Each structure stands twice: as C-alpha cells, then as structure tokens.
Amino acid sequence: MSASRVVGVARAVASKDLRIEWRSRVMTNQVLPFAAIVMVLFAFALDNDGILQRVAPGLVWMATLFTSLVVVQRSFAVESADSAIDALRLAGVPSHGVYLGKVAALVAQLVVFEAVLAMLALILYRVNVDLHGAVLLVTTCVLGSVGIAALAAVYGGLSVAGRGRETLLPLLLLPAVAPVLIGATRATESAFGSDGARTVEGWPWVGLLAVFGAIFLFGGTLGFGPLTDE
Amino acid sequence: MKETSVVDVRDAVVLLGSFPALAEATLTIGRGELVVVQGANGAGKTTLLRLCAGLLPLARGTAHVMGHDVSSDRAAVRASVGFLGHANGLYLDLTAGENLSFWGDVVGASRPEVTSAAQRMGLNERLLSTQVGRLSAGQKRRTALAVLAVRRATLWLLDEPHAGLDAAGRDEIDALLRDAVGAGATVVVASHELERSASLATRRIEIVGGRIIESGGRK
Amino acid sequence: MSNTTTSVPPPTRTAASRNLGLIAIFGSIVLALLGLFFTAEDVDQGSSVRIMYVHVPTAWVAYLAFVFTAVCSAGHLWGRKHSLNLDRLAGASAEVGVIFMGVTLVTGSLWGRLSWGTYWQWDPRLTTTAFLFVTYVGYLAVRGLGGTQHQRAKRSAIVALFAVLEIPLVHFSVLLWRSLHQEATVLRPNGDVKMDGLMLFSLVFGVAVFTTIFAWLVLHRNRVLALVDAVELRGIDAALEARRAEEVPS
C-alpha cells in the first residue's frame, strides 16, 4: 500500500466530508448557533464578569468537547445513511487513508468551532489576547483538535458498525480526552491571561497536546481498519 | 479453485446472531456467468451475497472468491467485488457526478474512465449535477451501478436490483447487466421475481432454508 | 481462523485452583486480623489508617488487572492463532479490575472523609482512578456489543490497548493539572504515614492476598465466560437442524 495512495484517499475522504458538511449546512445552521447560545447561557448562569473571565477557557473547551460529539456522530452518520461505509470497506480502499481523511475533516471543523467560541469569549466575556497569546491560542486549537479527532474517529468508527452503539461514543470518548481538556484549557488560560497566567506558561501544555495527538494519531491509524472492518 | 471458478462456496454456515442464515450452502459460479439467485424472503439470498463480498464472517465451511479465501484474505476478495445491497452506498448530499468522481479518486480511476462509466449507465449532464437525494430510485440505482463500473469490479453482487423500479427502469437495469457481462464481469443477482430473472439469467439457482438447490439449468 | 469448533474449557475443579481459593480465604482472615487488631494506630490518623490495608491492595490489583487485560489483548491480536481464550481472560480480568477499582474509589473517599473531612478531594491519584473506572466500564460495554466471538475479541482487544495507553496520559496530565494549584494542606493518601515494620508488612501482605483473590476470581470468571461461549456454539447445531427442517419442496 503506497504512501501516495493513502494520502490520495485521505484527501478524497476529507474533501468529500467537508463538501457534504458545507452543502448540508447542518453545522453552520444548527450546531454553531447551539454552541453560541451555550456561551450566552454560561454568562447568565455565572453572572459575574470576574468569574467569567477566569473560567472562559474552560467554557470554550467544554463547549468544544460537547460539540465534537455531534460532529463525529454526523461524520459517521453520513457514511452509514446509505451504507456508503460498506462500499468503502469493499472497494479495497486503504483504511489508513479513510481514517486520516476523517480526522483531517474533523480537525478542520473543530478548529472553525473553536475559533468561533474563542471569538465569543473575547466579546461576551471581555477577554483580551495579545499577539503572542493569539499564536499560542491557534497552536492550542489545532493540536487540541488533532487529539480529540484522532480518538473520536476511532470510537466513531466503532459506533458506525452497528445500531444502538451511538450512545457508546460519549462513554468512550469523554474520559479518554480528559488530558486534552486539561492541557488545552491551561494553554488557553495563558493565552487569555486569565487569573494572572502568563503567556509563556502555556507552551508546556501545548507540548502535552502534541504528545497526546501524536500517540493517538498513530494508534488510530493502526486500529481504525480492524475496528471498522468486522 | 484457481482461476476456473469465480465463486466457490462449500458447506458455508453464516450466523446472524445465533441464526444460521446460511446452513451449509454449496455453490460454484464460473467466469462470465449471469446467475440469478431465487428464494423466498429470509431464505438467505442477501447473506449469500454478503458472504461472497467478504462482509460477513464464515462460521463453518469454506468460501473462495476469485481464488482468495473469504475469511483470511478479505482485502483481496473485496478489491475485485462490487456489492450493491438494498442501499446504494451513495452520499445523498453530493451530486451523482461528485459521487462518481469521489470513487474515481479513491480507487485511482482516470477521468475518462469515470466519464465512460457515467455514459454507459445513461447518466447525462443534468443527472450528474443533481444531488443524489433528489434523484429517483431508478436514477440512484444507475448511479450506484456506474460506481461499480468506476471501481472496475469483476464480480458484481446485486441484491434485488429491480426493487422499486418501474418496467422501463427494470429493462434498463437488465440491459446494463448484460453489458457488464459482455465487458467481462461475472454477475450474481438475487431476486424473487421469477419471470424477469428467467429472461435475464444464464443460470438460475434456488436457495431454500439457507441451502442451495440448483433449479434452472444453464441456458 | 474464523471456523468455530465446540470445545469445553478445562474444569476449574482442580487441586491447584482449590488450594488457591483456600490460600485466598486464609490470607484474607489473617489480613483482617492484622489490619484490625495487630497493627498500631497512626499517630495522626488514628484507626482510619486501617482502611489503607484494603484501599492500597485493591488499587494495585485494579491496575494489575488492566495491564493484564492489555497483555492478553495484545496476545490475541498478534498471536498467530488469535486465541479466544486470551480474549476471555482479558474480559475476565477487566471485570474483576472494574470491581476492585470501584472498591478503591469507595474506600478512598471513606478514608478522605475521615482524614480530609470530605469524601472527594481532587487528588491526582483519586482523579485518575475515577477516569479509569469510567474508561473500563466503557470497555466492558464494548465487549457486550454482540457479533461473533471473533468480532468481539478483535474489537475489544483494540479498545483495551487504547484504554491502557490512556492510563499514563491521564495520570500525567492530572498530576500536572494539580501541581499548578495550591497543594491540598491535608495528607496525601498513605504518603506521609509513618509506618512501622508490622504496618509495612501488613500492607505488602495485603497486596499479596488481594492478588491471590484476583487470580482466583479471574480463573473462575474465565471458565464461566468460556462456558457461555461454548453454549453459544452448541446452539449452532440445533439451529442448523431447525433451519434444515424449513425446507419446503415446491
């Protein structure tokens, strides 16, 4: 199985997924407004500028995590709606390519969500970010999304193979991505300067995110094929 | 078991849960045949096709497709098999053309190959630029068959390909299947419609209670 | 490889397994005596330190169980025979591990109530344990998804390897997370306990006893799982008979 073939498949799968999302508008018309209203509701519930500024990073990543569940379920619902997943399994398509394509499309969508959520935090919770903080924030979002997507695609693939397994996804995914939630929240705190955190303090957390993403991207590449091919 | 038979299934038992959908079925299909599998609902037609596609594990017995063992060498089996079940395996939000070119990209087919597959299945520009979700049942089937052609499948396994189509659509499918056989493919069709399959098939077999009974002889 | 044959697992009614059970029972009694009567109270914690003789061994056994699950799963995946017996051992071990981890959480929070004045403290070890408990409950749910025995084995083996990868990552990140905040001013579990010789012996003895209990439980649970699988396979023959009887000559 040549590497270029894997990359070709990954690109085809990723662009197909993104095109479907772009065309169906489920993300932009339903999931994004949901995420936005959650951010507004947090503000109502906490009702205190000081607290909001302090917990803003955690809220951004909690919202991201819950949104990721919806995004992953969508990503695999598209495959199972007309049994396209059977066709993919049948076509002798390298499963690494399918996995990496799925992960790439998930990362792209998650990064968009995180950008919107972070913007909302800036506006609604009056958080300030300088240039260094912005660089840290973007890196955090990309690496955090890779970690979430790498695991989510594996467990999402497990849930696509049979009915009634969708409910298993949160149970498997949420405890596993705890390190991402911790690392990304701390890094974002540094970027936002919440609670007096300094920007440079965020980079070690970015390292944690990178390690996490690398491990599970590797594991997922190996495990996705056997797991979805039953 | 080499290149002589495309499908070689012996005493196959396939379980769906604990139910033996195939109960020691034995069947051999040669290259270039157009076989129609008949049987009542629940007789095991779909299971037989899915087994040949390498989509179901074998509980007992053996099954070889194109000389490859279905249980140990599934990747090789699948690469040469096109399976069309009750679902079409298409992305409903994409146009027919986008579906075809996605498969073209995935299997590494060239643009002319994709275009010629679309032409053979009678997909014109208008249909190609329509979202699959908005196509009629017959047009979806044709798109799905075009995907099989793009994938250069050499064994076509079709489960009730006529379902939900009107008379004209059915004739069209029959013509496409004869074309495919003419182009070197082997086709296995599951159907419970007796008269239609009689005119189509080079050979008919019957499946009863998960076992295969040869009925109509070779024409 | 996927051809299934009906085989009855070896019986557990052997002298070895019976002796293992007797050792476990006898060891538990001795441990209870040691823990409740013979060891001294701690200077700071008083009698609540006695919880440690259960808490620490169960935690140890739970981690041992999860690592054992991972080893068996790897053995199943990479072994040439894709042994279903290894898969069942992995499952049995995870089941026992989840139960022991539950005991660890309960004893940990009881001890916390006595020492910290609160049932739950965001202590790194306790937090990691809670995450892993949920993770392995998920693993057991994956085992129950259905399909053939080989499908179950492959699927759950992969999930088990993912889960064991999560152990160090979750623990490390939780540790980092806590280190940023002010350290709880109370004692860390069994960290600052000044132990005399008998206390230390009892602790080590407890670990040995609970490991024996673990081995005995896994042995028997494994046989039950093997019997369940064998019964399922025997059902095939009856089902095949029934299927043949369906034949209606037209």
The domains of chain C are located at 16-228
A180 versus A54: which is more confidently predicted?
A180
Identify the pLDDT of residue A107.
95
- Hey, where are the domains in chain B? 5-90+153-216
Put residue C228 in one of left, alpha, beta given phi > 0 → left and psi -120 to 50 → alpha.
alpha
Q: Do A229 and B74 touch (CB under 8 A)?
A: yes
- At B131, which amino acid appears? Q
Of C4, C150, C244, the CB nearest to B23: C244
Give the tens place of pLDDT for each residue, A192-230: 887 677 788 888 889 999 999 999 999 999 988 888 876
Give the tens place of pLDDT for each residue, C209-248: 999 999 999 999 999 999 888 888 777 777 887 777 766 5
B141 in reach of chain A (CB within 8 A): no
A48 versus A101: which is more confidently predicted?
A101
Report yes or no: C101 and C58 within 8 Å, Cβ to Cβ.
yes
- Residue A68, pLDDT > 50, answer yes
Neighbours of chain A (3+ CB pairs under 8 A): B, C
d(C-alpha B116, C-alpha A103), whole Å: 33
Residue A131's H or E segment, with its range, is helix A131-160
Nearest chain C Cα to B60, which residue?
C3
Q: Do C180 and A186 touch (CB under 8 A)?
A: yes
Q: Do C155 and A223 touch (CB under 8 A)?
A: no
Which range marks the domain in which residue A123 is found?
3-228
| Domain count across chain A | 1
C73 versus B117: which is more confidently predicted?
C73
Identify the pLDDT of residue A91.
76
Tell me the C-alpha to C-alpha distance, in Å, between residue C190 and each of C44, C48, C50, C160: 12, 11, 10, 30
What is the average pLDDT value for chain B, to the nearest integer? 83
* Nearest chain C Cα distance for residue A205, angstroms: 9
- Residue C70, pLDDT > 90, answer yes
Which of B45, B28, B65 is CA-nearest to residue B218? B28
Largest CA distance in chain C: 89
Mean pLDDT, to the nearest integer, of B94-117?
88
DSSP three-state, residue C39: coil
CATH class of the domain comprising B5-90+153-216:
alpha beta
What is the average pLDDT value for chain C, to the nearest integer? 82
Of A11, A78, A92, the CB nearest to B91: A78
d(C-alpha B64, C-alpha C98), whole Å: 43
Which of C185, C187, C147 is CA-nearest to residue C46? C187
Task: Residue window 13-32, chain A: list those with CB within 8 Å of chain B.
Answer: 13, 16, 19-20, 23-24
Identify the pLDDT of residue B174.
83
**Picking from A70-79, A201-210, B144-153, which range would have the lowest pLDDT averaged per residue?**
B144-153
Report yes or no: A176 and C135 within 8 Å, Cβ to Cβ.
yes
Give the tens place of pLDDT for each residue, C125-165: 788 888 899 999 999 999 988 777 888 898 899 999 999 99
Identify the pLDDT of residue C14.
81
Give the tens place of pLDDT for each residue, C30-48: 998 888 888 877 767 777 7
Largest CA distance in chain A: 57
**Picking from B28-37, C63-72, C109-118, which range would have the lowest pLDDT averaged per residue?**
C109-118
A178 in reach of chain B (CB within 8 A): no
Phi and psi at residue B106, to the nearest 5°: -65, -40
User: Tokens 């739950």 label which residue?
Assistant: C120
Q: Do C154 and A219 touch (CB under 8 A)?
A: no
Identify the pLDDT of residue C195.
67
Mean pLDDT, to the nearest integer, of A8-29?
89
Q: Do C158 and A151 touch (CB under 8 A)?
A: no
Bridge partners for B15 per DSSP: B20
Which of C109, C96, C167, C88 is CA-nearest to residue C135? C167
Sheet holding B60-65, edge to edge: B19-30, B5-16, B60-65, B68-69
Neighbours of chain B (3+ CB pairs under 8 A): A, C
> Inter-axis angle of helices C197-245 and C52-78, to 10 degrees?
40
Identify the pLDDT of residue B177.
83
In this prediction the pTM is: 0.86
Report yes or no: C55 and C100 within 8 Å, Cβ to Cβ.
no
Q: Is the ipTM of this complex over 0.95?
A: no
Which of C237, C225, C216, C157 is CA-nearest to residue C9? C225
Task: Residue window 57-96, chain A: list those with CB within 8 Å of chain B.
Answer: 78, 81-84, 86-93
Identify the pLDDT of residue B197.
64
Identify the pLDDT of residue C10.
67
Of A8, A24, A86, the CB nearest to B85: A86
Report yes or no: A149 and A103 within 8 Å, Cβ to Cβ.
yes
Nearest chain B Cα to C243, which residue?
B209
Mean pLDDT, to the nearest integer, of C3-25?
74
d(C-alpha A165, C-alpha C142), whole Å: 9
Identify the pLDDT of residue B58.
85
Identify the pLDDT of residue A152.
93
Give the tens place of pLDDT for each residue, B27-68: 888 888 888 888 888 788 888 988 888 888 888 888 888 888
- Residue C182, pLDDT > 60, answer no
- The model's confidence at residue B1, banded by pLDDT at 50, 70 and 90, is very low
Which of C30, C192, C208 is CA-nearest to residue C115? C192
Tell me the C-alpha to C-alpha distance, in Å, between residue B95 and each of A13, A77, A151, C122: 15, 18, 30, 53
Identify the pLDDT of residue C2.
40
- Residue A1, pLDDT > 70, answer no
Three-class SS of chain B: CCCCEEEEEEEEEEEECCEEEEEEEEEEEECCCEEEEECCCCCCHHHHHHHHCCCCCCCEEEEEECCEECCCCHHHHHHCEEEECCCCCCCCCCEHHHHHHHHHHHHCCCHHHHHHHHHHCCCCHHHHCCEHHHCCHHHHHHHHHHHHHHCCCCEEEEECCCCCCCHHHHHHHHHHHHHHHHCCCEEEEEECCHHHHHHHCCEEEEEECCEEEECCCCC
User: Tokens 């300094």 label which residue?
Assistant: A198
The torsion of the CA quartet B149, B155, B158, B162, rounded to 10 degrees, works out to 60
- Residue C1, pLDDT > 70, answer no
Identify the pLDDT of residue C248.
54
**Picking from A143-147, B13-17, B197-201, C85-89, which range would have the lowest pLDDT averaged per residue?**
B197-201
Q: Do B59 and C148 touch (CB under 8 A)?
A: yes
Of A8, A19, A86, the CB nearest to B89: A86
Largest CA distance in chain B: 48
CATH 2.30.30 fits C16-228, yes or no: no
A86 versus A178: which is more confidently predicted?
A178
B164 versus C227: which is more confidently predicted?
C227
Identify the pLDDT of residue B73.
80
What angle is formed at CA A105 by the lines to CA A17 and CA A163, rounded to 5 degrees? 65
